[in-house]
Structure 1
Amino acid sequence: MYAPTLHRDRSVVKRDVDALLVAGLVSAETTVNAGHGTHKVVRAVASRVDLHVMID
């Protein structure tokens, strides 16, 4: 997931991913790039997530 692809600021995407990590909906793993540096791979924990909202 890239911030420019989503038309969102990188810090906002990081905040969203952090919230999903706390909720247990995704897992993240830091991997080493072939050349230099690292990047974070984020994967969904479940194959399907259902969101139900009730507004009173």
Structure 2
Amino acid sequence: VAEPFVARGDDPRRIFYYGESVLLPDYRGLGLGKRFFEEREAHVRALGRFETVCFC
């Protein structure tokens, strides 16, 4: 996972990487997925030690 970031010159220790997330069909279209991504990105940024947040 780190190789593409290292190739770009990024420090993998400064990247918070989330694995994949799946929202069940019954919960899609309600804004929950968007809110989930916003909240978890905000949490990582609040930690103050990561420059980048990414996910697959």
TM-score by length of 1: 0.32
Larger radius of gyration: 1
More strand by share: 1
More helix by share: 2
Q: Whose relative contact order is higher, 1 or 2, with alpha carbons under 8 Å and at least 6 apart? A: 2
